[in-house]
Amino acid sequence: MDFNYSAEQRLWLDRLNAFMAEHVLPARAHFAQADPSAGFPWNAPECLRPLQEKARAAGLWNLFLPPAAQAHAANGFRFDSPGLSNLVYAPLAEVMGRHEFSSRIFNCSPPDTGNMELLLRYGSPDQQRRWLVPLMNGEMRSAFLMTEPAVASSDATNVETRIERDGDHYVINGRKWWSTGTGDADCRILIIMGKTDPAAPVHAQQSQILVPIETPGVRVVRMLDVFGYEDRPAGHGEVILENVRVPAENLILGEGRGFEIAQGRLGPGRIHHCMRTIGVAEEALELMCARLSERSTFGKPLAGRSIWQERIAWARTEIDMARLLTLRTAQLLDDNEAKSVRADISKIKLAVPRAALKVIDDAIQAFGGGGVCQDHGLARLYAKTRTMRLVDGPDEVHMRVIAKAELR
Ligand SMILES: Cc1cc2nc3c(=O)[nH]c(=O)nc-3n(C[C@H](O)[C@H](O)[C@H](O)COP(=O)(O)OP(=O)(O)OC[C@H]3O[C@@H](n4cnc5c(N)ncnc54)[C@H](O)[C@@H]3O)c2cc1C
């Protein structure tokens, strides 16, 4: 067991860090500027495309895609990707996590990454040609629509949207929300989960189907705020699906296979979330240390107070523990099917956001009133990281998975 980064990990980290320093960090202010349009869809900042072209030319493109994934590509498609293992990708995702907007520069941002893996693994050759290729090229974006306002969607068997066969077509009716990506003007394709056969055994009722966002009957009716933040340009939409008609060949894998697809999609996605969240925690700790080192109260620097040294010590310890557990899970996922490491994935999904939230909360405290306003980015980091205890399954669902494995 070697706890140091391998030569391959260091090589990629150096390449990414150099690119970040030269091209991405200087553009930070441009990303922070809001799209002036009042209503959605929102446009990506103008600096995005040129940066994406540079990243691609530098070989830093589709870094999330595991080496074996290319084998699933139909018709001999080859995608621009170095084919890194999860273990090599982990430190890179951490770097991207420190600067929220940066994942997209490398075509590594959710929900597209999960949707691309889904299409690679389960899409037909024609589905791959029409939607996977442009996604891999960063020419468009996508959304995954499972959660519904009317039912407790952390139990996906509750999902009520209907996908009904009508001749050569399927007709879809339902209401979704928290559909991340639907605010983006570049979002073109939706993957929708719904029931094709409510009378089938419970895990064979659901299917997944591809729906171009321009299809008549698809209406993004509003964007949901996260603690008041709009999360532009991706956004999180509430979407009404009314008699949405798409060709039968848009169904992924076959009727009743929705659960199987959802499970395959979420494994790597959860690891990526955790890796980025560790980057967020590192960013918060660095800001906290800098602030404490430059300010004094009652005649003594804040950094010299034992209460702050204790908080810094816990932050460093928790981050390092979270990273080690995440790297171990990345390795397990490289060597096994996602299904067999489910409990390990749940462990990091439970532990990492909590650890990061504690660090960000302490950092906010260290900044005093400055911590909760827009000036230092900490309020935004807290809001974003708090959602990590809900997205891709709330904590309680992951605890259930871990506890069941333990009890077995
Ligand atoms: C920022 C953000 C982005 C999102 N992006 C997407 C997306 O792109 N696509 C998509 O489909 N969804 C998305 N979601 C939705 C997210 O996956 C769901 O919110 C989550 O799965 C919980 O489902 P729910 O909101 O229906 O909560 P419910 O299922 O109603 O659960 C409510 C609460 O019940 C508790 N609970 C649930 N199960 C148990 C249990 N077994 N034991 C004890 N307590 C339990 C938990 O505390 C949970 O928070 C996103 C959510 C957020 C906040």
Mutate to test the pocket of ligand 1, among 380, 390, 401, 404 (most ligand atoms within 8 A of CB): 390
Give the Cα separation of 350 and 325 in Å (integer).
11
What average pLDDT does range 290-318 have in this prediction?
97
Question: Which segment of 118-127, 160-169, 260-269, 374-383 scores lowest on mean pLDDT?
Answer: 260-269
CB-based contacts of 8: which residues, under 8 Å, 6+ apart? 88
CA distance 93 to 98: 9
What are the angstrom distances between the C-alpha of 134 and each of 115, 131, 259? 12, 6, 26
Substitution site in 151, 153, 259, 350 for ligand 1 pocket (most atoms within 8 Å of beta carbon): 153
**Which tokens in the block code for residue 370?**
């400055």
Q: Tell me how crowded residue 85 is: count the other CB atoms within 10 A of its CB.
A: 18
Residue 288 Cα to ligand 1 middle (Å)? 31
What mean pLDDT value characterizes the chain?
95
The arithmetic mean of pLDDT across residues 232-249, rounded, is 97
Answer yes or no: are the C-beta atoms of 189 and 348 closer than 8 Å.
Answer: no
List pLDDT tens digits, range 181-217: 999 999 999 999 999 999 999 999 999 999 999 999 9
- All residues at 6 or more sequence positions from 247 whose CB lies less than 8 Å from its CB, including other chains: 168, 169, 170
pLDDT tens track for 109-120: 999 999 999 999
Q: Quick one: which atom of ligand 1 is closest to the CA of 400? A: 41
Q: What is the pLDDT of residue 34?
A: 66
Using CA atoms, how far apart are residues 161 and 146, in angstroms rounded to an integer?
9
Instruction: Kindly indicate the confidence band of residue 269, based on its pLDDT and cuts at 50, 70 and 90.
Output: confident
Residues of the chain with CATH 1.20.140.10: 259-407
Please tell me the residue having the least CA distance from ligand 1 atom 45: 396
Q: How far does the centroid of ligand 1 lie from the alpha carbon of residue 49, in Å? A: 33
pLDDT at site 196: 98
Ligand 1: residue whose CA is nearest its atom 30? 152
Tell me the H-state helices in 71-201: 86-98, 102-105, 112-122, 125-127, 133-136
Q: How confident is the model at residue 35 (pLDDT cuts 50, 70, 90)?
A: confident
Cα(192) to centroid(ligand 1), Å: 16
Q: Confidence class of residue 263 from pLDDT cuts 50, 70 and 90?
A: confident
> Which of 229, 221, 209 shows the shortest CA–CA distance to 144?
209
CA of 70 to the centre of ligand 1 (A): 32
Residue 59, SS3 per DSSP: coil
- The DSSP secondary structure of 325-391, one letter per residue, reads HHHHHHHHHHHS-GGGGHHHHHHHHHHHHHHHHHHHHHHHHHTGGGGGSSSSSHHHHHHHHHHTTTT
> Which protein residue has the closest C-alpha to ligand 1 atom 44?
396
Q: How far is the CA of 153 from the centre of ligand 1 (A)?
A: 6
- Give, in order, the Cα–Cα distances in Å from 3 to each of 98, 236, 294, 325, 352: 22, 38, 34, 11, 19
CA-193 nearest atom, ligand 1: 11
What distance in Å separates the CA atoms of residue 312 and residue 22, rounded to the nearest whole number?
30
Indicate the CATH number of 7-140 among 3.30.830.10, 3.40.50.300, 1.10.540.10, 1.10.150.120.
1.10.540.10
- Identify the residues whose C-beta falls under 6 Å from ligand 1: 111, 144-147, 152-154, 178-180, 226, 236, 387, 390-394, 396-397, 400
Between 75 and 177, whose confidence is greater?
177
- Which one of 113, 142, 144, 154 would you pick to mutate in the ligand 1 pocket, going by the greatest count of ligand atoms within 8 A of its CB? 154
Q: Percentage of the chain surpassing pLDDT 90?
A: 88
Cα(83) to centroid(ligand 1), Å: 32
Q: How far is the CA of 180 from the centre of ligand 1 (A)?
A: 13
The fourth-level CATH superfamily of domain 259-407 is Butyryl-CoA Dehydrogenase, subunit A, domain 3 (1.20.140.10)
For atom 48 of ligand 1, the residue with the nearest CA is: 394
Q: Where in the chain is the domain with CATH 1.10.540.10?
A: 7-140
Interval 219-246 mean pLDDT: 96
Q: Go through 32-45 and write b for each residue having 16 or more CB atoms within 10 A of its CB, e for each that does not.
A: eeebeeeebbbebb
Nearest CA to ligand 1 atom 36: 396
Q: Is the pLDDT of residue 54 over 80?
A: yes
> Which pLDDT value is given to residue 44?
92
Confidence of residue 144 (pLDDT cuts 50, 70, 90): very high
Determine the residue of 177, 391, 397, 399 to mutate for testing ligand 1's pocket, defined as the one with the most ligand atoms within 8 A of the Cβ atom: 391
Question: What topology is assigned to 143-256 in CATH?
Answer: Butyryl-CoA Dehydrogenase, subunit A; domain 2 (2.40.110)
Find the 395 Cα to ligand 1 centroid distance in Å: 9
Which residue shows structure tokens 């091209």?
23
For residues 159 and 265, the model is more confident at 159
Please, are residues 113 and 64 in contact by the beta-carbon 8 Å criterion? yes
- Does pLDDT of 338 surpass 90? no
Distance (Å) from CA 397 to ligand 1 centroid: 9
pLDDT for the residue numbered 356? 98
Q: What's the pLDDT band for 73 if we cut at 50, 70, 90?
A: confident
Looking at the chain, the domain(s) classified CATH 2.40.110.10 span: 143-256
Mean pLDDT throughout 35-40? 83
The mean pLDDT of 156-174, rounded to a whole number, is 97
